Amino acid sequence: MMQHSLQIDQKALASDLIKEAERLSDTEPTSCMQCGMCTGGCPLAYEMDWSPRQILRLLQLGLVNDALSSRTIWLCLTCETCTARCPRDIDLAKLMSSLREIAITQKIKPAEKDILSFHRSFLELVKRGGRLFELGLVGLYKLRSRHLFQDVLLAPVMLRKGKLKLIPRRIKGQDKVARIFAKIEKQ
């Protein structure tokens, strides 16, 4: 009897989490017809444990914990190729972002090691400078992840080829970006 009650509670929680993902992304995974257009266009599908189409299927089946603990939601670039290709107008890129947000609030450890360090480093630099400063991102990420010497030999080559700048470029409207971050942090 106790085990049955636990299953009901888990189903209710999964249902609530799926509804939260739908609310945050303003999209309905149940409308997916499993055509695979999203996966066919995804530039990182080969790296994922579940394809974008399969993440939608997990949600349709109520297996939200499998989706939230996947590598896929953390590897998604949010490039919106899947969203553009979807014949049902499912905003899968936004749904992936919503699933990441739910995973964080549910304290589900990301399947991708050090991915939160990367995300936090990226956002901190955009917040600070209004745009991405690549060399700063590399440095901040290396400090947070403690991978200080990983890929260290690539930096001189990238600097020489002009792929990394030593000084961040200033942008107009930096104050507007700061206000966006302040507004989000109040929520």
What pLDDT score does 9 carry?
Answer: 55
Query: Which percentage of the chain shows pLDDT scores above 70?
Result: 93
Q: Which of 34, 122, 140 is nearest to 86 (CA)?
A: 34
What pLDDT score does 166 carry?
Answer: 85
Give the chain's radius of gyration (CA, Å): 19
> pTM here?
0.75
Q: How far apart are CA 58 and CA 2, in angstroms?
A: 26
**Is 49 in contact with 18 (CB distance < 8 Å)?**
no
Q: How large is the average pLDDT for residues 18-36?
A: 91
* 84, two tokens: 């553009």
* Domain architecture of the chain: domains with CATH: 2-105 (1.10.1060), 115-186 (no CATH)
38: Cβ–Cβ under 8 A, 6 or more apart, which residues? 51, 52, 53, 56, 81, 82, 83, 85, 86, 90, 92
What pLDDT score does 5 carry?
Answer: 47
Q: How far apart are CA 22 and CA 53, in angstroms?
A: 16
At 110-121, the pLDDT tens digits run 888 888 888 889
Q: Which of 157, 156, 140, 159 is nearest to 148 (CA)?
A: 140
